[in-house]
A and B are shown apart, each in its own frame.
Chain A
Amino acid sequence: MLMKASLSGTDVKTGSIALHNLQKRYGSATAVDDVSLSISPGEFISLLGPSGSGKTTTLMMIAGFEMPDSGRVLLDDKEITRLPAHRRELGVIFQNYALFPHMTVAENVAYPLRMRRVAKAEREARVHRVLDQVHLGALASRYPHQMSGGQQQRVAIARALAFDPPVLLLDEPLGALDKKLRQHLRNEIKTLHKQVGKTMIYVTHDQEEALAMSDRVAVMHEGRIRQVSAPQDIYRRPADLFVAGFVGEVNLIPVSIRSGVVQGPAGDKLPAAQWPDADRDATLCVRPEHLRIETAAAGTSAGIQGRIVDMTFVGDATILEFQSESGLRLTSKVLNISAKAMPDVGDACLASWAANDATILTQ
């Protein structure tokens, strides 16, 4: 039942998870709606979504704390859908750590081993090793309430690693920490993932976290997975308006496609790389950092005519608020790299972008 003592995990080939058409309803509300996902061994995947999107319910169905109404959960091609949580051999790291307050750090970490009746010598050696791995070897005899939030988080990780599960499930593990510490621990978890090579399924509502850590991100909304892609693709090529709006800032420009040309609200031709052939209305998405706003005189390329209505200095960048002649408001983010002359509020300008930076969405 237990895997070899090695925590290096380079030889681990297990830890694939497959979800087939998972469905979960609470009364009349559908929490998870037809979710299918295939996760390969060693992959770091994030379930990203706002609260109520079904991401935590999905994770809890993998962990065995919720039973799906229909659908299947497979671990290494074995069905575990109805297996009780304590026999799944999956490591779970909970939102508020869920460290046992009446046990020391060492006792907490030893807990999964005691439940598996690992002999004392082996148990102690393993607790020692895992605690060292998270740099808490010196604090083994402390109680959880004597530790900082970051340390408690590490104990939670150590406890989940102690029995060497092939998969770690992390439920918003950094949610309770402040921003600086969150960034720090983010890197630690990433490093740990490289070290132990375990499959990690990470639930978060923080898009930055998801983009920074994951091999792939699954964006969820209203119980469904809207897109599963590498972070770059999620950001650059959002599959729909929800993903575009949820991940990062975005300018949405209503466009119409007529005879193979993308036309803006004023009927002028707008830059884009790919669009459907048929005539239809659509939305053009362009990120603020991709939106160039230049004084009208210099602007000769295709774009939208308008004026700058507001400028905000935010440190590393300046945010320009632009309003087109038709009343459309756009935001542009310009990095403050050099003392380059910027247009002023009130200036007539042209907003444009590289064709490759625009995405056309048709729903």
Chain B
Amino acid sequence: MISIPLLQEKNKSKNMKKSKLLMIIGSFLLLGLFVFPLWNITLEAPQYPIPLGMDIHINKFTDTHEFDIKNINLMNHYVGMQYIPETIPEFKIFPIVIGIMVFFGIVIGFMGKYKLYMTWFVLMSLLGIAGMYDFYLWEYDYGHNLSPEAIMKFTNPDGSVMGFQPPLFGSKDILNFTAHSYPLAGAWFMFTGMLMTFVAFFVGKREAKKK
């Protein structure tokens, strides 16, 4: 976003449309997902003065501090939660989907058809929502699909089996832990990029009217 005024200068000289640049750069920013983690889940407890954390990338889970995932698994096995898998099918699908969207975004940008910008944005938003829903489903399963041989079984006040699903977004107390779930740099690259493509549509529309 910061770079936009500079780009405008460049625009005039090269006579390139502002909307095109927004669309191209916006799509390009999604590549940040390949570099930075998308999301973070952190677990705080008195015994963990340095909290346990897991970073979610589009293609892998990583430790916030070395061995955190191993230690989360060890904590969670007491209540019968499954181990966080080494990999999930989504880690194959997400990079391909993002790659394709970046490619088309840049192509559409060069084509300069502003209506397609909105199409791209809507499609990307739908894919994003699908991704979040998928994440929610995984989280739900992770927090509820407990081993029948769980060492410790907890129930809610209403008698139902207590789940340990971390929040999709925000913070939540789960037994002795406080779980935090927030976006990281990768997500901010994506949000910023998507916002730019959204703006590109309106800028493109205005540019078309001026003509």
- The finding on whether chains A and B are genuine partners in a shared complex, rather than unrelated, reads no
